[in-house]
Structure formats: C-alpha cells, structure tokens
Structure 1
Amino acid sequence: MGEDAVVEARRRLGRIGVGLMTPLAPAEEWRRAARRVEDAGYGSIWVNEAIGGREVFTQLGVMLAATERIVLGSAIANLWARHPAAMQGAASVLADAYPGRFALGVGVSMGAIVEQSGQTWSSPLARMRGYLEAMDAAVEAAPKPEVPFPRLLAALGPKMQALAGERADGMLPAMMPVEHTRRARELLGPDKLLIALQPVILETDPGKARAIARQAGAFSIPGSPYIGALKKLGFSDADLADGGSDELIDACFVRGDEAAVAKGVEAYLDAGADHVCVSVFQPDLASSADQFERLAPYLLND
C-alpha cells in the first residue's frame, strides 16, 4: 500500500477492465473466459464474493495462473468472510506470486448477506476501520511482494470514501451515476486510485434495457448501501421504488449499442475515474466473454 502501489497500478491497469460476476462455474470455464478477456486487450478482471461459495482469493489464483499479463482484482473480498490477518496474508501471497498483477478490493457487503451467514451486522464504518487496522498489524507476518499491491475500499458514502482516502490507496464504487464519480474524485484528490465498477447493457431498446437492469435488484435489498448513496445524490424514495425509476436506471446503467456504451463509459473517465471495470448481464462466462470481445474495439480504441 502507498504511492508506489498507486503508480504501478495506474500503469498496469490502463483505462478499461471487466468484471466477471457470474455465479458458480467449473474452473476451466473461468480459465477460458479469463484468457479471452486478456487476448481482447483489457487491463483487468475483477471477481466478486459473498460469504461461502466461490472464495475470491482461490478464484483469482486460478485465473492468474491461466493468464500472462492481465491484472486480477477482488471486487470485493468480503471482510466478513475472513479474519483480517488472513485477508492480508492471502493478498500478499498472490501479489508475491504474480508481481504487479494483483489488486485488493475490500468491502463490508450488506447486512442481509452477513446475517444470513450467521454473523451479527454492525456499523460498517467502524467495522471497516478496525479491520484495516488489524490488516496493517498483520503486515510483518505476511509475505513481502516485490511489487506492492493496491488496497481499495468499496466506498459509496462520503464517510467510507474519506476512510478510503485515509487508510487505503483509493476506492472502487459500483453502479453509481457519473456525478458520484465526479464527487468521489474531488474528495480523494489526485493521488488516490478511483476505479468505477460499471454495468453495461448491449441493448438499443430503452424499455428492454431497463428491464434487464431492474433484474439486478440492487436498489430493493433491505439495508442496501446503494440506497443511501443515491439519496445523497438527490434521488427520492419514489425513484428507488419498484426496481428504480427510468431516471435512476438511466443514471446508473450504461446502455445502447457498442458506440453508445463506449461513450457512456468514457463519461466516467472524464469525471475522474482512473479505470472503469465494465460488467455485463449474461447467464454464463462464455456469453459474457462474447460481449466483452464485441465491445473491445470500441472501449479500447484510444
């Protein structure tokens, strides 16, 4: 963690990466998808985690071993899934084994997911602060990577964003409007990483695209951190009801043909993001890779 990690990450990540957020699939399918994304020219692949099921560090290890240059990141590694010393140790092992190719995103998840795992939800800000302190205390016992890895926080609200600026190398907010990215960059300043995790929908019919977006259900989960963040941006309870108003959906999801998607993603870079991780709504890894290959000539055309 530190200035060197930020500089190195910016150099290696480039402008655009992808999120592979598909549920359980055989390891060989993950290897094939990762190689296709790398061959298409993207700078990164990010994988998410709940609690149980697909363990994120093991998953990233499989994909790092199957690829040659692309950066692999956790978006996010759930802090409720492991002890902070285990988080520090796992990240350090991967960063040591694959110099410059690993990025750690840490998040507090949601109360409903945590309670379902049999744990007791508590203040996310206090939990994150204490967790980061415990990770720092475990640094000396962990491997020492040749290239430092960046530590990023899944931060939507201003208090978690401030903590990201204080105790991390930056942040990776997900599924937020462009205005959120602009405000986040103002808060972070120029010396921290800002990675926007942005879902895109290759669909030119607005009604069909919005229906796909509403299936994500992110705005209807009780206690969802997205709700509070969007209200701070001026959206109302009415906007958040029934899966999200048209205005809300259009603000949080990039849609259209390849050129329109590229223009929408570019807006996040113009607003201050260092890197945009795009994800697609597809039922399996192969069809996700198909869409990333379709988008590559548009998204990666500097």
Structure 2
Amino acid sequence: MMNLGPIGIWSLSFLAHPDKGEIAEAAAELEDLGFGALFMPGWAGGDEIFPSLERLLAATEFVPVVSGVVNIWKHTPEDVATAYASFEREHPGRFHLGLGISHEVYEPVRYRRPVATMGAYLDELDRAERPDLRERRLLGALGPRMLDLARERTAGSHTYLAPVEHTRSARERLGPDAVIAVEQHIVLEADATTAREQARASMADYLTLPNYTNNLLRHGFDEDDLRDGGSDRLVDAIVVWGDDDAIAQRVAAHREAGASHVCLQVVGGVEATLPRESWRRLAALTDKGITK
C-alpha cells in the first residue's frame, strides 16, 4: 500500500519557508519532475504540521506526502487520526504518516522507556484510526528495539542521518517486505573543504543528540569521529557531496543495501529556503538511474 518510488525530496523548507504560495508552486514542480514522494519534517512544526501537510497535498495531484516525522509528544493519537481522516477524504491514498519519539534533551521529564512509550502511542492510535493507516505509517527508527517495533506494528522505518551500514542492518532486521525510507543529506559542492564545512554546519545540532550519536557508534564510528564537528570519515559517510556521479553512487549504495526509497535533503545553508535549482539538478540525473 505504500509505494513511494525510489527517490524523493525531504525538505525543512516545506514547513519553514515564509511564502506559502511558493511552497505550493515548488511542490507541484517536484511532482512534475518525477520525484516519488515529498517528505516534510514535523518535529518542530507544532500546530503548523498538519496545515503544512495539507498544503503539499492540495498543491499536487498524485505524489505521496509523508510526515518525517510527527513528534508524538506534540500531537495526541486522536489529533493524528483526525488529520489522517481529513487527508483521506480530500486526497485519498496519498498521505503516509511518519511518527517519531523525539529526543530526551527536548523532553527531559517525559522521555522514559521510548520504545514502550511509542508502543503505547500506537495502541491508542489503533483504537482511534481507520484500519488502513497501520499499513501507511512508518516509525522514525534507528536503534534495534525501535526497528523491531516498526517491523511489528507499521509498514517500516524512516531513517535519518544514518550511513549506508545502517540501511543494511535495518533491512536485515525489518525483513524483505518492509518499507525503509532513508533520508540522505546532500551538499552540491565539488570543493572538499567547502563541502565539508557546509556539511559540518548541517550536522552540528544532530551530533549533540544521543539518539544519533549512539547509532553512529553502533555502525563503525568511534568517539574521535564525533569530536570537533565530525571527522572527515564521518562527514563523508553522512553527507554526500561532489558531482552528479558521487550523488548517484551514494543513492545506489543505499538502494543496494536495502533501502526502498531515498529522500534527498539539500543542505549547506539552504535548509529553510526552497532550493529549486538544486532539485532540478537532482531530477536531471535520470541517465544515472537515481530517479528510476
């Protein structure tokens, strides 16, 4: 039921850009360019997350729109089920729900037993939702126990800031049929020094969050890699930069490791803008197979 296609776009600008009309125009263009899905973050969206998702759905005709991810501390299961029902009435079959547990640093009092908490949230959602939503939801899952929950209770996982090695281990854990939608940071810059500087800026906040750093430590990196904005080895594993061949090779690596879908996030000082020229460049890589 969840066919996202091989390649999509993940963008903070769908939520943060001030010109709502331009967001709609950009979404329609991305659909025309052939991207398989549009992912919008929800962790910082507050009350704006569902209106912003509706804006993307209304601006497009057939491309799936995915929340990547709705923060379960900010939205009750009843709120999520109500929003889903509204989207399903107006745009049947096109909205897919990504849910996430957030981070302890943001929820220091309530953040306890995250896997059990997510399981209880899904229990409430199951009581409130339409039956088909279970097959159209993903968990923001990095650790093994959250991946297990994703396998048992949802269509699969939406991973973020994760190397190819994690995609491979996630596929082994989730099995052959689950959806694995992988976010991939991209810096469209060929100079190594400039590209890594922009990449480190985009990674800085994430490297303060244990959910991400613990995942990196589980997949081949050590404490030295996490220091001073990240080692070159870490930066290059998380953020693909360079020419079109480099981007295509990284996408292919995730796909070969088991990703169902790779959603591309253009970073490097443009996170809250609408990088439409960059998106057009990515869409033009059809001869390298990354949008097919």
Partner Cα distance (2:219, 2:229) in 1: 17
Mapping of residues 103-114 of structure 1, within 5 Å = 103-114=96-107
- Tell me the TM-score normalized by structure 2: 0.91
Q: What count of residue pairs does the alignment treat as equivalent?
A: 284
2:39 matched residue in structure 1: 46
In the aligned structure 1, how far is the partner of 2:282 from the partner of 2:245? 8
Task: Tell me which amino acid in the other structure corresponds to 1:69.
Answer: F
Q: Corresponding residue for 2:147? A: 161
* Cα distance between partner residues in 2 of 1:33 and 1:53: 23
Q: 1:301 to 1:165 in 2, by over 3 A?
A: closer
Aligned to 1:183: 169
C-alpha spacing 1:149/1:60, structure 2 compared with 1 (3 Å): farther
1:17 corresponds to which of 8, 17, 21: 8
Contact 2:126/2:134, CA 8 A, preserved across alignment:
no
Deviations 1:153-188 (A, max 9, x none): 000111100110011110011121111001100111
Matched, 1:120 2:102: no
Deviations 1:202-239 (A, max 9, x none): 11112211111111214432x43111111111211111
Conserved 8 A contact 1:51-1:113: no
Q: What one-letter code is carried by the residue in structure 2 that aligns with 1:128? A: M
User: 2:56 is matched with which residue?
Assistant: 63
Counterpart Cα distance in 2 of 1:294 and 1:86: 38
Once the two structures are superposed, what CA deviation does each residue of 1:53-76 show, in whole Å capped at 9, x if it has no partner? 562221110111111111111000
Q: Distance in 2 between matches of 1:16 and 1:52?
A: 24
How far the C-alpha of 1:51 sits from its partner, in A, is 4.2
Match of 1:243, SS state, is coil
TM-superposed deviation, 1:28: 0.9
Deviation at 1:149, TM superposition (A): 5.6
Q: What is the CA deviation profile of residues 100-154 of structure 1, one whole-angstrom value per residue up to 9, with x for unaligned ones?
A: 2111100011122335xxx632222121111111101112xx5x77x98611000
The CA distance in 2 between the partners of 1:225 and 1:156, in whole Å, is 8
Distance 2:88 2:134 in 1: 7
Question: Which of 203, 212, 218 is matched with 2:198 structurally?
Answer: 212
After TM superposition, list the pairs within 5 Å mapping 1:22-33 onto structure 2.
22=13, 23-33=16-26
| TM-score, length-scaled by structure 1 | 0.88
Q: Name the amino acid aligned to 1:296.
A: A
Stretches of structure 2 lacking an aligned partner (at least 5 in a row): none
Q: Would you say the 8 A contact 2:12–2:271 is kept in 1? A: no
Mark the CA change 1:122 to 1:174 in structure 2 (over 3 Å): closer, same or farther.
same
1:231-270 residue pairs with structure 2 within 5 A? 231-270=217-256
Q: Residue 290 of structure 1 aligns to which amino acid in structure 2? A: E
The alignment's C-alpha RMSD in Å is: 1.9
- 1:96 is matched with 89
SS of corresponding position for 1:185: helix
Which of 113, 126, 146 is residue 136 of structure 1 equivalent to? 126
**Equivalent residue, structure 2, for 1:297:** 284
Identity between Structure 1 and Structure 2 (%) = 37
- Judged with a 3 Å threshold, the aligned counterparts in structure 2 of structure 1 residues 52 and 175 are, in CA distance, closer, same or farther, namely closer
Q: Find the aligned partners of 1:87 and 1:113 in 2 and give their Cα distance.
A: 21
What letter matches 1:84 in structure 2?
P
Counterpart secondary structure, 1:198 = strand
Aligned 8 A contact 1:94 1:102 in 2: yes
Give CA-to-partner distance per residue, 1:15-44, whole Å, 9 cap, x none. 100012122423112102111211211011
Give the secondary-structure state (helix, strand or coil) at the position aligned to 1:81.
coil
- Shift in Å, 1:94: 1.1
